Structure 1
Amino acid sequence: MSEFVTTSRGDRVAFDHRGSGPALIFIAGAGPYRAIDPWTTATAESAARQGISTVVYDRLGRGESPVDKTIDLERELFAIAALLDVVGGTAVLCGHSSGCSIALAAAAQGMPVNGLALWEAPLGPQDGGAREWAGIVDRLIKEGDLEGALVHYMKDIPPEFLESWRKSPEFPDLVANVGSLRPDGESLAWTESAPHSELFANIRVPVQVMLGEETFPEMFVAADSIVAAIPGAIQKRMPGARHTWETEPMAAELAAFVKAAHPGNRAR
């Protein structure tokens, strides 16, 4: 059964909290929420059995976390802050896809984060066009063209992915919830606004950038840039293909990372 927490902005966030010990909060990328994402839930369940506490939540504007106002990156970060309070004040953040740029923004702003586990962060180069792309998505949302906004958001993904989503029973919900993509676009634009070494200069926690064994070439470029920008950050190949991880290896890796990243366990 869902639990709920209210942010300092008054938004009600739905989440599942499992296990005990050092905490891990999953941050979904564009579109997913708990009801249509059994893989993250299964990963969280397995990781919680390995001695950590896990939180999977419906991002603002999705699932059981409806919002009737404009959702921006700041509002999304308030949701993460509320969840950090739920787990005792600090946690590792696990971002998936554009959830990585949201996790990076949280850490760069000094939120009480123990570490970042980043799965296939789709970051572009400085001035790579994300600001203009996100602006078009926002304009289409304001004009009421929600499907057009979703299609433009997904313009760089393989066409077969989009066609598969169009045929899925979840597609109408993805269209209806397209306003929840504003924080993704805003955070991705932020990651292109200056050199990563400058944007991530305040991040001084363990960072592990993970990639599937079969993924897209641009993911390696982004991973290399993150690792080069954050002292001590590492890159790791994991079982997974086409932007999706395998549940059990990912759960074991995350549990080990969360335990190692806990301040009391870090090597001195």
Structure 2
Amino acid sequence: MEKVTSADGTTIAYDRLGSGSPVILVGGALCDRNSFRPLADELASEYDVITYDRRGRGDSGDTTPYDVRREVEDIAALLTAVGGTAAIYGHSSGAALAAIAAVTLPFGKVVMHEPPYGPDDADTSDDGGQVLESIREGRNQEAVERFLLMTGMPKEAAEQVAAAPGVADLAPTLAYDFAVMGHGLDQGGTPVALLRSVTPDTLVLAGTATAPFMIDAARRVTAILPNVTYADLPDQHHAVPPELLAPVLKEFLRG
């Protein structure tokens, strides 16, 4: 484990594996840097892979009040640590954070894997209000379960995941993911102006067996981004086995 200090003084913990051009992997909700270790192992034969704990998770620190811009500064500190240039891959809400970072930071390539934006006519007024209420009242396991049910996970599976060791500890950071997904929204559920400002070559990925709203979001994002390639992941759900995902990423990053 290595550490960098973000602009506001927050310590960000990261791991670095392999050699070659740097690639920063950005996790989504309820993920820490260990969540991406299997994918990092697959990519490390060709790339210098950086996995990190987003603020408030794992071995990273946190500073209040939260602001999405601080998460971009965290990524900027990582980018400096690896030499000032890299590619970035983000999964789920991490894909949205990767896009936000790519507007201002010098990434050569961007991968957005199933960013969970709502439809343009979505009612975003609630923004997971019940999840946030559970967090405020200290009912972390309940908050995780409510969040997973929101994503369409069956109740029994949501209960099992929420009860897994360490998962409830990450519940407070769900508020951060809601903030990331709401960043740049004007109306509806997609930050059109923000996405139009993502100028690096970008790959958008979606599994053909994932939730329909994820596919719709990926296609909507593809229609907005200025320099974009879209790729289906046949028969895959939201979580893709690293041995299937890594070859797709390598092909794009080599190009």
Q: Please, which runs of 5 or more residues in structure 2 have no aligned partner?
A: none
Instruction: Return the alpha-carbon distance in structure 1 between the equivalents of residues 27 and 124 of structure 2.
Output: 19
Q: Which residue type is aligned with residue 167 of structure 2?
A: L
What's the CA shift for 1:28?
0.5
Is the deviation greater in 129-138 or in 112-121? Answer: 129-138
What's the CA shift for 1:234?
1.7
Superposition pairs of residues 57-96 of structure 1, within 5 angstroms: 57-67=52-62, 69-96=64-91
Please name the residue that 1:16 is paired with: 15
Q: Which residue type is aligned with residue 59 of structure 2?
A: E
Please name the residue that 2:241 is paired with: 246
Is the deviation greater in 99-108 or in 186-195? Answer: 186-195
What's the CA shift for 1:70?
4.3
Please name the residue that 1:25 is paired with: 24
Matched, 1:231 2:233: no
What's the CA shift for 1:128?
2.0
Which of 157, 169, 176 is residue 161 of structure 1 equivalent to? 157
| Cα RMSD for the two superposed structures | 2.2
Contact 1:93 1:117 in 2 (8 A): yes
Matched, 1:117 2:111: yes
Instruction: Return the alpha-carbon distance in structure 2 between the equivalents of residues 32 and 155 of structure 1.
Output: 17
What's the CA shift for 1:68?
6.0
What's the CA shift for 1:146?
2.7
Contact 1:92 1:113 in 2 (8 A): yes
What's the CA shift for 1:246?
2.0
Is the deviation greater in 239-248 or in 76-85? Answer: 239-248
Q: Which residue type is aligned with residue 23 of structure 1?
A: P
Instruction: Return the alpha-carbon distance in structure 2 between the equivalents of residues 200 and 251 of structure 1.
Output: 25
SS at 2:149 equivalent: coil
Percent identity over the alignment?
30
Contact 2:27 2:33 in 1 (8 A): no
What's the CA shift for 1:203?
1.1
Please name the residue that 1:150 is paired with: 144
Q: Deviations over 1:64-116 (max 9, x none)?
A: 114364443222222111111111112221111111111111123x1222221
What's the CA shift for 1:218?
1.0
Is the deviation greater in 144-153 or in 94-103? Answer: 144-153
How many residues in Structure 1 have an aligned counterpart in Structure 2?
A: 251
Contact 2:26 2:89 in 1 (8 A): yes
Please name the residue that 1:204 is paired with: 199
What's the CA shift for 1:31?
0.5
Q: Please, which runs of 5 or more residues in structure 1 have no aligned partner?
A: 261-268
Q: Which residue type is aligned with residue 183 of structure 2?
A: W
Q: Deviations over 1:120-170 (max 9, x none)?
A: 1111123523452245544443333333433333332222431230343x2
Q: Higher relative contact order by CA 8 Å / sep ≥ 6: 1 or 2?
A: 1
Go from structure 1 to structure 2 and tell me whether the alpha carbon gap of 1:72 and 1:150 turns closer, same or farther (over 3 Å shift): farther
Instruction: Return the alpha-carbon distance in structure 2 between the equivalents of residues 58 and 249 of structure 1.
Output: 24
Go from structure 1 to structure 2 and tell me whether the alpha carbon gap of 1:121 and 1:31 turns closer, same or farther (over 3 Å shift): same
What's the CA shift for 1:217?
1.0
Matched, 1:44 2:40: yes
Q: Which residue type is aligned with residue 86 of structure 2?
A: A
What's the CA shift for 1:221?
0.7
With structure 1 as the length reference, what TM-score do the two structures score?
A: 0.84
SS at 1:178 equivalent: helix
